[in-house]
Structure 1
């Protein structure tokens, strides 16, 4: 229960930290504390010391009040401009690329820090402004606080210039694609391998399934609907070990879960209580949207969506599609080098009994997610077909696994077959044929290159000649 609570808190912290409001709120709070601190310092400062530097601290009550008022007014105006620029960038990126990348803009630290800076400076000026008194008896001018506000306002000019530059860069296709790819590669590094118990040998898998077929089963429904953001496999594993049963996951990260449908199957003799159902459901974080934190396939999905949008007739941007394919190859190259856990997890005791049957994506599913839809949407596009074959060759160079090379070989053959049905020009078909042959060499495959035969019209012209 403690482990599950920690898992929930981590998920909540990731959601809060990724929100557009969190960093600005922290900065506003910090600015208020800073203003109070400077005011206290001003109350202790000697008037004689301040009078020695009249050009710095001699603004007077009216001058200080006017200065802070001007700074506060301009900063809230600039904050509104910053927010408007961010929303405009979001709208443009959503329409031109895909709505899946909106979350990347919202979680961008630069956007959050800039918005927080201007709103925080506005709050600072308000707090200091209310302490200025111009009477003869209770006169109080927080000169240090006013000077520091002026310094922050000057810094704000540089921040605004940088933010305009940042927005101009952030809506470029290369920046959007590379940012999504970097986040996905970080997720790959974090997620693979995941050690939960010890991986069962492959030869034992089928025997385990046969043995479990006749065991009693208890079906555990989901308590909510949404996308599966993360799974606390430690909780599931410990639950199975404590109750001497096998827990079989029925949903993988990124899949959509419907309330009251099957989420987990308990295999073994166990009288399931409501508390057990609650414990098992708490191991799954279900939300309205997917995130990359434990879902590397979602990062691949973002790049695929950008490529599909670029290949659509209304956009027809082959360069962006090729850019997406290049970064997809970088992600798959990382996956090709890593161990992806098999579904069966055993405990570390001498009997090595299976405790957890996980459901997760395989290397085959990652490759299919990356290439299938792009290949289907690239009909007649020679440049995209060639770049897909180059990407497959690149990924193949990063693995010596016969199984994974076989998966990549099948993808290369599908690309060649799609090109065979959609590319008619002799020159273009020859380019694809040569790249296919080069890819086969990397895959160490002895496939016949005639998978790209001449088109019917080409054969007719050859016969006539």
Structure 2
């Protein structure tokens, strides 16, 4: 059980390492430091043979020349690494200002940025590792021809990575690339967290389906956002102790030590060890992540749309781009079973999970954008289209009613805030066309 109890901390560590700007570069530096003595050992084994056999490839130079070459490459690499870091910080600041601070971690976890920094630092470390062996070896000059030539080749590779980095940064700060990346991560999370297609209805579960259970609250171990949860470990905890567990907070929710994060259903109050074990299954951090939190992906796209609709930016095209991807995400959700279901073990209730249902995700997708889109006919028309696209992706009468209610709210705002007669005619045409298509499909 000890390994399961640490699953929350391990999940948080994995997320942090992936999104850190130092982990992959550190691994590449270690690899470079291991490569240097390996090639030097090969040079000791081969001697001057490579230089004599392939003089054009392994140019024979003296110790001073080899040392100067490695020093020049090392100095250039660390200088360019500083430039790369500076460009990255500028890109992060621009993305935070232009779009939303929530997208910063997307840049930090970008493998391209991490690889580029790792390449330059790795070549720098490699050159230092080779330089220390050039020259004196029992009074005789030793020039590791293979290692020096490899350093030169690595420098050329680093130059190619610099060109790639400039292109990559210029592309990654464009609104289309940012929204596409967020949507791709969100869709992958949906497939991972909600893999089952919806068959029939998907109504919210009762919070105490068996009734009569005595629920004992368990406080969160620290304040912050719930970023991951091992549901298998949660079931194992409940099964091994013969109790039921009810989640009071779901992934992405804020938790604090003065509020319960879960409750244990048992006849007798659980001991402190059981409370600590249960609390440790929830990974809590100072920021939300998208690995298990579908709502956070939607939140990022909504924030990009809100920033675009702000008076200081007034970028309707970016707002519509966000709605394009939100429409795709909502349609995917509309056809999946997402309401949390009770988990039983041989008829006994074990886990009552918590999570955002379709109604909450639907409100998150549209409500704030709607409040900031008054009079913006293009955005309101795209919202109506998105609702119809989501409606066509589900056969659930309950979800269709929720989408119809949201459509009525958007339509009311669109009619009331229409800036001209032409805008009102376009809105009515959209509503009439959607109603006609629905009647045709129903027929």
**What is the TM-score with the length of structure 1 in the denominator?**
0.89
Deviations along 1:244-297, whole A, 9 cap, x unmatched?
A: 332211111111111131111222303311110111101111110000011010
Relative to structure 1, is the Cα distance of residues 410 and 334 closer, same or farther in structure 2, using a 3 angstrom cutoff? same
Unmatched runs of 5 consecutive residues or more in structure 2: none
Within a 5 Å distance, the mapping from 1:373-452 to structure 2 comes to: 373-441=368-436
SS for the counterpart of 2:18 is helix
Asked if 1 retains the 8 angstrom alpha-carbon contact of 2:202 and 2:339, the reply is no
Q: From the CA coordinates, give the structure whose radius of gyration is larger.
A: 1
Aligned to 1:336: 334
- 1:96-127 Cα shifts (integer Å, max 9, x gaps): 00000000000000000000000000000011
Task: Indicate how the Cα distance of structure 1 residues 258 and 121 shifts in structure 2: closer, same or farther if over 3 A, else same.
Answer: same
| Corresponding residue for residue 320 of structure 1 | 318
Tell me how far apart the structure 1 counterparts of residues 370 and 440 of structure 2 sit (CA, whole Å).
Answer: 21
Query: CA distance change for structure 1 residues 414 and 42 in 2, over 3 Å: closer, same or farther?
Result: same
Q: 1:53 to 1:375 in 2, by over 3 A?
A: same
**Secondary structure in 2 matching 1:265:** strand
Q: How far apart are the structure 1 equivalents of 2:203 and 2:176?
A: 45
Residue in 1 that maps onto 2:78: 76
Q: Which residue of 2 aligns with 1:451?
A: none
1:243 deviates by 3.4
Following TM superposition, by how much is the alpha carbon of 1:411 offset from its aligned partner in structure 2, in angstroms?
Answer: 1.2
The verdict on how the C-alpha distance between 1:210 and 1:301 changes in structure 2, with shifts beyond 3 A counting, is: closer
Residue 445 of structure 1: how far off its partner (Å)? 11
Counterpart of 2:113 (choices 93, 108, 111) is: 111
2:93 — aligned with what? 91
Q: Is the 8 A contact 1:4 1:232 kept in 2?
A: no
Deviations 1:186-240 (A, max 9, x none): 1001000489xxx9x989955x83752x433312111210001112222332333
Alpha-carbon distance in 1 for matches of 2:353, 2:418: 42
Q: How much has 1:439 moved relative to structure 2?
A: 2.9
Structure-2 residue corresponding to 1:20 = 21
2:41 aligns to what? 40
Counterpart contact for 1:405–1:443, Cα < 8 Å: no
Judge which range, 237-246 or 74-83, deviates more. Answer: 237-246
Q: Which moved more, 1:337-346 or 1:144-153?
A: 337-346
Distance of 1:188 and 1:105 partners within structure 2: 21
1:147 paired residue number: 149
Query: Structure 1: where are the runs of 5+ without partners?
Result: 447-465
**Which has the higher mean CA deviation after the structures are superposed, 112-121 or 421-430?**
421-430
What's the RMSD between the two structures over aligned residues?
Answer: 2.3
CA distance in 1, matches of 2:167, 2:417: 42
**Aligned in 2, Cα 1:34/1:245: closer, same or farther, shift over 3 Å?**
same
CA offsets, 1:130-160, max 9 Å, x none?
1110689421001110001111111211111
Q: TM-score, normalising length from structure 2?
A: 0.93
CA contact (8 A) 1:237 1:356 kept: yes
The count of aligned residue pairs is 437
Q: Distance in 2 between matches of 1:442 and 1:262?
A: 48
Report what 1:366 is aligned to.
Answer: 361
Counterpart for residue 353 of structure 1: 348
CA contact (8 A) 2:244 2:265 kept: yes
The corresponding residue for 1:458 is none
For residues 47-67 of structure 1, give each alpha carbon's deviation from its aligned partner in whole angstroms, at most 9, with x where no partner exists: 244223334231221211111
Per mean C-alpha deviation after superposition, the further-off stretch among 44-53 and 316-325 is 44-53
Provide the rounded CA distance (Å) in 1 between the counterparts of 2:11 and 2:224: 19
Hey, what does 1:209 align to over in structure 2?
208
Counterpart-to-counterpart distance in 1, 2:18 and 2:391: 37
What residue is the counterpart of 1:261 in the other structure?
259
Looking at structure 2, the residues matched to 426 and 4 of structure 1 have their Cα atoms a distance apart, in angstroms, of 63
Alpha-carbon contact 1:134-1:141 (below 8 Å) kept? no
Q: Deviations over 1:15-48 (max 9, x none)?
A: 2122110000000000010011001001111324
Aligned: 1:65 with 2:60: no
Q: Which has the higher contact order (CA 8 A, sep 6+)?
A: 2
